[in-house]
Structure 1
Amino acid sequence: MTIIVRFAPSPTGYLHIGNLRPALFNWLFAQREGGRYVLRFDDTDAERSKPEYAAAILEDLNWIGIEPDEVTAQSDRLALYDAAADRLREAGWLYPCYETSDELERARARRKLRGLPPVYGREALRLTDPERATLEAEGRRPHWRFRLPNFTNDPFAPERTEIHWDDLVRGPQTVDLASLSDPVLVREDGTYLYTLPSVVDDGEMGISHVLRGDDHITNTGVQIAICQALGFATPVYGHFNLLTTIDGEGLSKRTGALSLRSLREADLEPMAVASLAVLTGLAGSIEAMPDLAGLGERVDFTTVSASSSKFDPAELDRLNAELVHAMPYEVAASRLAAMGVPEGQAAAFWMVVRQNCVRLRDAAEWVPVVFGDLPSRFEGSDDDRVFLQAAFDLLPSGPFDDATWKRWTDAVKAATGRKGRALFMPLRQALTGLDHGPDLAGLLPLIGRDRALSRRP
């Protein structure tokens, strides 16, 4: 069997790190199984769906390293949904309903008072043709519900009807269709809710595995019933836990919280974002994986937590720092060039400063320190100033190399008697203008003798 998975975002906003979780789980699974990955835009909401968001989703997925085998949009497949809805109507599975939202809410309240579950009572099934004609003459247009197969003979006497599946993530699952309302598949204006297009697309496209958040578990019971009514093969389902903030709040494209676009603009590395999105809530530590192949090796669906996973956005800085500290020069080269780092010294510069960078752009702080003029002169104590004048008298002749710093500080120590912080801190402040930073043994050859002398107090 060919493995085919899909990621089906709605292009109504920018993808956030929570959306990235199903996108990556599907991608990593397809890569591991030698399968195909379909990006399917759920854009049947014409009012909120925007082409610029669809383009941004493609761009953001590409930034992470996800390259779909196929890209399609539900807005191009409406004829398929129309045909499926007609089949369901003809078979008696889809029936028209005319209640308003207020009428439905009052009906739910009455059922609660009677100790009944607040599900739809199928009152529309009792309507005669003349009654439906009267309602439509009043200007009412029907929405259409799928009649769940949860009864034997009488649709007004639902009985426990279990839908079972072996969930790829959570193991055996059961949904009782008698506990659910008949789902609305078609709105009054003829547009489709999520459920029917999703089932039709999965069936028509041969989607073999549906991997998604566990907020869809109940939907799965309904969708399996619709699959069966339409004669489609049932995919293998897998439901993993959702990501929430530390406060337990969900993420939404509408708020823009932790969007991939904003994380990229903040100069975070894509694998820092991918690692946090996938490894939060899995067994083992959350660590920065070097690439998607390595991340895929960490994914074991049987170890996914059953409850929502709270993640700390501050973890992104830790993961990003791990990646930056280990980043080869070849990966950083183009961005260093954009900062103005001289090409001939860029590799050595990067190897020296990367341990002091949380994000690669932090290297820009060290470009003027190493290659430019310091913004301020040494402002230490008079004792330190006298010490530095003596120290610079002992500055070795060039060219500098990795051993120059030790030769110089050994000579200064012997001449002045200073050691430890009293020896090294004034030299650092004079050479860099800062009291912290990379190892001066590596910085000094980049600064060079002429610039070093120009910084003499």
Structure 2
Amino acid sequence: MTVTRFAPSPTGYIHVGNLRTALMNFLIARKAGGTFILRIDDTDPERSKEEYVDAIKQDLEWLGLTWDRVERQSDRLDRYAMAADELRRMDRFYEAFETPTELDLKRKKQLNMGKPPVYDRAALKLTEAEKDALRAERGAGVWRFKLRQERIEWTDGILGDVSIDAASVSDPVLIRGDGQVLYTLASVVDDTEMGVTHVVRGSDHVTNTATQIQIIEALGGTVPQFAHHSLLTGPQGESLSKRLGTLSLRDLRAAGIEPMALLSLMARLGSADPVELRDHMSQLIEGFDIERFGAAPTKFDSDDLYPLTARHLQSLPYDAVKDTILAAGVPENLGPRFWAVMRENITTLRDLEAWWALCRDGAEPVIDDEDREFVATAMEMLPEAPHDESTWGQWTGAVKEATGRKGRGLFMPLRKALTGQSHGPDMAQLLPLLQTIRARP
């Protein structure tokens, strides 16, 4: 059975980069009828916050990315300790005591010599007495996994055949000096014990994958099918790292972005297929193919989400937006007609409040100097409410006959006088909704 997972750290709100990973793993599991696990990577007790755990769940629920079960790494520390003991028994785990400054000096020296900046395994040469002395001086050391210095190869779901020389990679630190288990070990243990079959994540994890494959094999696990998607950039190819704080899912939600607009974009962005707005998650699942994605950096522009949101909203029936419309203050008897008129004139549902305010309270008239006499004459001819969809045509017909104006010179000044805007809904449909008309003499 296909098993995938999304493993966010609850140290902040998830953003579009995280979503890409979550969505791909979700779609793979759902297309195969498999299991999608939400795994909270909370092994860092200082930075992990329960409020972020709740926020992650809320954001995924908003998007409809439902999980089959939740796992928390903080509940599995004993499993990681057992795996660490097993690696020690195999002589694949060793304690190292270098300070960050010492490691930095070693890297600089290697680079100056034209060598790759790889940890030199000096800790393997320490005697027990030397280790005891270092522990007494510096405290506990970090624990590094001893890589077999051979080529690590796998067929990646996106990158194709990948081959990395383990000799060009430092032995990874799996446990910090303070005892905190790091992602590299915890993820391997979890993926192995939870039967994860497919792992999709960013291309910045390729080296991690190489080392994790050796750890998986050392612990007797089955290597999942890995796929590494491209990283997102800004619309000009710039790094998104400084902008991700403004691209959290809750910020996009607060801006009025609709879930299916966001999902439709992210399910195709960076693939060989064009972005197509979908109405239902089932359509995204059916059309998803990880092999259609490329390795090149992928440009993301949040502005692209707004036209998709507008198109999605235009397709919705009144019942789908009824609660939002009523919450904006629209009387229930006007709700269906209000939506029919406004659906083509909004970008997000938040725009409905402004349109209802215009209908309810009227707008400050915008009247150009050359149109003042014309508008005054026209307003005297406007029939008393209630108006219906025939009122606009009858009124403007009478004004045309009385003033001789026609076309844009007739219609635009009247629109601006009634709505304060030069664009908007068809006036024949909007006029019956106007509760207040400030331009009346």
The two structures have a TM-score, normalised by structure 1, of: 0.90
Q: CA deviation at 1:294?
A: 2.6
2:190 is matched with which residue?
201
Task: Describe the shift of the 1:110–1:415 C-alpha distance in structure 2 as closer, same or farther (beyond 3 A).
Answer: closer
Q: Which moved more, 1:326-335 or 1:10-19?
A: 326-335
Map of 1:47-446 to 2, 5 A cutoff? 47-150=46-149, 161-251=150-240, 256-370=245-359, 372-376=360-364, 379-381=367-369, 384-386=372-374, 388-390=376-378, 392-393=380-381, 395=383, 400-446=387-433
SS in 2 for 1:238: strand
Task: Describe the shift of the 1:95–1:436 C-alpha distance in structure 2 as closer, same or farther (beyond 3 A).
Answer: same
1:456 is matched with which residue?
440
- Whether the 8 Å contact between 2:216 and 2:223 is mirrored in structure 1 is yes
What residue ranges of structure 2 are gaps of 5+ in the alignment?
Answer: none
Per-residue Cα deviation, 1:36-89 (whole angstroms, up to 9, x for no partner): 110111111111111101110101111111111111110110000000000000
Task: Give RMSD over aligned pairs.
Answer: 2.3
Q: How far apart are the structure 2 equivalents of 1:359 and 1:178?
A: 53
Q: How far apart are the structure 1 equivalents of 2:245 and 2:97?
A: 36
Q: How far apart are the structure 2 equivalents of 1:401 and 1:229?
A: 77
Per-residue Cα deviation, 1:207-234 (whole angstroms, up to 9, x for no partner): 1111111111111111111011000111
Runs of 4+ deviating beyond 6 Å: none
- Whether the 8 Å contact between 2:415 and 2:421 is mirrored in structure 1 is yes
What residue ranges of structure 1 are gaps of 5+ in the alignment?
Answer: 151-160
Q: How far apart are the structure 1 equivalents of 2:428 and 2:363?
A: 22
Task: Describe the shift of the 1:132–1:382 C-alpha distance in structure 2 as closer, same or farther (beyond 3 A).
Answer: closer
- Whether the 8 Å contact between 2:15 and 2:244 is mirrored in structure 1 is no
Q: How far apart are the structure 2 equivalents of 1:390 and 1:135?
A: 93
Q: How far apart are the structure 1 equivalents of 2:172 and 2:78?
A: 21
Q: Which moved more, 1:102-111 or 1:306-315?
A: 102-111
Per-residue Cα deviation, 1:125-184 (whole angstroms, up to 9, x for no partner): 11222222232233442211111112xxxxxxxxxx222222122222222212111111
- Whether the 8 Å contact between 1:12 and 1:253 is mirrored in structure 2 is no
Amino acid at match of 1:258: L
Task: Describe the shift of the 1:403–1:126 C-alpha distance in structure 2 as closer, same or farther (beyond 3 A).
Answer: same
Q: How far apart are the structure 2 equivalents of 1:29 and 1:134?
A: 51
Per-residue Cα deviation, 1:94-146 (whole angstroms, up to 9, x for no partner): 11112222222222233334333221121111122222223223344221111
Per-residue Cα deviation, 1:392-414 (whole angstroms, up to 9, x for no partner): 5364x876443443333334334
Task: Describe the shift of the 1:415–1:176 C-alpha distance in structure 2 as closer, same or farther (beyond 3 A).
Answer: same
Q: How far apart are the structure 1 equivalents of 2:68 and 2:240?
A: 27
Q: How far apart are the structure 2 equivalents of 1:377 and 1:5?
A: 58
Amino acid at match of 1:443: L
Q: How far apart are the structure 2 equivalents of 1:232 and 1:317?
A: 45
Query: Structure 1 residue 40 and structure 2 residue 24: aligned?
Result: no
SS in 2 for 1:271: helix
Task: Describe the shift of the 1:383–1:15 C-alpha distance in structure 2 as closer, same or farther (beyond 3 A).
Answer: closer
SS in 2 for 1:314: helix
The two structures have a TM-score, normalised by structure 2, of: 0.93
Q: CA deviation at 1:261?
A: 1.3
Q: How far apart are the structure 1 equivalents of 2:421 and 2:243?
A: 43
Q: How far apart are the structure 2 equivalents of 1:18 and 1:95?
A: 34
Task: Describe the shift of the 1:386–1:242 C-alpha distance in structure 2 as closer, same or farther (beyond 3 A).
Answer: closer
Task: Describe the shift of the 1:194–1:251 C-alpha distance in structure 2 as closer, same or farther (beyond 3 A).
Answer: farther
Amino acid at match of 2:230: N
1:155 is matched with which residue?
none
Amino acid at match of 2:377: Q
Q: Which moved more, 1:74-83 or 1:178-187?
A: 178-187
Q: Which moved more, 1:384-393 or 1:2-11?
A: 384-393
- Whether the 8 Å contact between 1:430 and 1:456 is mirrored in structure 2 is no
SS in 2 for 1:219: helix
SS in 2 for 1:117: coil
Q: How far apart are the structure 2 equivalents of 1:377 and 1:97?
A: 76
SS in 2 for 1:279: coil
Q: CA deviation at 1:327?
A: 2.8
1:14 is matched with which residue?
13
Q: How far apart are the structure 2 equivalents of 1:18 and 1:81?
A: 28
Q: CA deviation at 1:24?
A: 0.7
Amino acid at match of 1:89: R
